[in-house]
């Protein structure tokens, strides 16, 4: 009787709601731009896609695949987590960088572990540039993504290059479905060993950037250009109460709404998908 009651409650709750795609589309309209969404939860069908195979600019969300690529080189013996990496004077420029705040004159050695941590936890742009340089540049990152079958994530520039010409960001894109596939791979069958998977997962959980988006994950935004906001993005994994991990990517592109509104759109979309996931999991469980 209890099972029947739970099933009836969950099904009734779901039926009483406006269908998820309509709810997401209504929220997306608040950005006055283009919103791309994809999500995945194993064993559950969530109809959350909004142009999931479009090509929105990645901005700082590229730091997640970059972290994977760097740690993979550690596993291959090409790099070591505690090796010193030179922060060059030529690496400096005006951007968000706790590393540069700590060492404004540069010209110091920084442990590789610290650079990855700064990039993953605080979205440090200069740390990302140094790591990209260390592994051999955007082409090497792209080769790694291609090896995972994720060529729909396309990277050919550094943060520094994009800083010099914001229009270039549109060629560094990720299909939201591909970014979710990468998150799904990391959560379910990580391409890294258990030690490095736990290390990166811990850094992501401790992230302080983007508190108004998907809390504690890797956001990226580009600032205001040409009277609009080219990119306000967030991707990450949300752990449900029973331990399942929901992979989610939301990209807000060319928005005429303000930054606060763009972040609200991401947060509201994440909330609606999370609510839908909880109902779907409950229905699947009682069946």
DSSP calls for 65-125:
HHHHHHHHHHHTTS--TT-EEEE-GGG--SS--HHHHH-TT--EEEEHHHHHHHHHHH--H
Model pLDDT, residue 225: 44
**What DSSP letter does each residue of 145-169 carry, written as one string?**
HHHTT-TTEE----HHHHHH-GGGG
Of 38, 40, 60, 158, which residue is the catalytic one? 60
Q: What are phi and psi of 126, to 5 degrees?
A: -70, -40
pLDDT of residue 4: 32
**Distance (Å, whole) CA 224 – CA 260:** 12
> Which homologous superfamily is 2-79+143-154+166-286 in?
DD-peptidase/beta-lactamase superfamily (3.40.710.10)
**194 included as an active-site residue:** no
Q: How far apart are CA 269 and CA 283, in angstroms?
A: 21
Region of poorest pLDDT, from 9-23, 150-164, 262-276: 9-23
pLDDT band at 217 (very low <50, low <70, confident <90, very high): very low
The mean pLDDT of 221-225, rounded to a whole number, is 47
Q: How would residue 114 be classed by pLDDT, with cut points 50, 70 and 90?
A: very high
pLDDT value of residue 204: 87
Domain residue spans of the chain: 2-79+143-154+166-286
When pLDDT is cut at 50, 70 and 90, the band that residue 5 belongs to is very low
Q: What average pLDDT score do residues 265-270 get?
A: 92
Alpha carbons within 13 A on the beta-carbon side of 23: 19
């Amino acid at each position: 009787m209890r099972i029947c009651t739970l099933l009836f409650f969950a099904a009734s709750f779901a039926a009483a709601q406006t269908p998820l795609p309509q709810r997401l589309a209504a929220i997306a309209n608040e950005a006055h731009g283009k919103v791309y969404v994809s999500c995945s939860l194993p064993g559950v069908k969530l109809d959350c896609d909004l142009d999931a195979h479009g090509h929105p600019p990645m901005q700082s969300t590229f730091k997640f695949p970059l972290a994977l690529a760097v740690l993979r080189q550690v596993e291959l013996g090409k790099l070591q987590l505690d090796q010193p990496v030179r922060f060059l004077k030529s690496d400096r420029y005006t951007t968000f960088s706790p590393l540069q705040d700590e060492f404004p004159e540069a010209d110091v050695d920084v442990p590789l572990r610290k650079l990855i941590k700064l990039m993953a936890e605080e979205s440090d742009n200069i740390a990302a540039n140094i790591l990209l340089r260390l592994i051999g540049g955007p082409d090497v990152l792209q080769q790694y993504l291609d090896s995972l079958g994720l060529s729909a994530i396309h990277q050919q520039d550094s943060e520094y290059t994009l800083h010099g010409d914001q229009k270039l960001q549109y060629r560094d894109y990720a299909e939201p479905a591909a970014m979710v596939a990468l998150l799904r791979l990391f959560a379910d069958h990580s391409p890294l060993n258990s030690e490095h998977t736990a290390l990166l997962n811990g850094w992501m959980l401790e992230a302080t950037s983007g508190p108004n988006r998907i809390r504690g994950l890797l956001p990226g935004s580009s600032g205001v250009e040409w009277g609009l906001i080219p990119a306000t993005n967030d991707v990450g994994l949300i752990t449900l109460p029973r331990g399942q991990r929901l992979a989610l990517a939301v990209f807000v592109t060319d928005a005429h709404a303000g930054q606060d509104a763009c972040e609200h759109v991401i947060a509201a979309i994440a909330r609606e998908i999370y609510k839908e996931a909880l109902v779907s999991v409950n229905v699947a469980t009682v069946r």
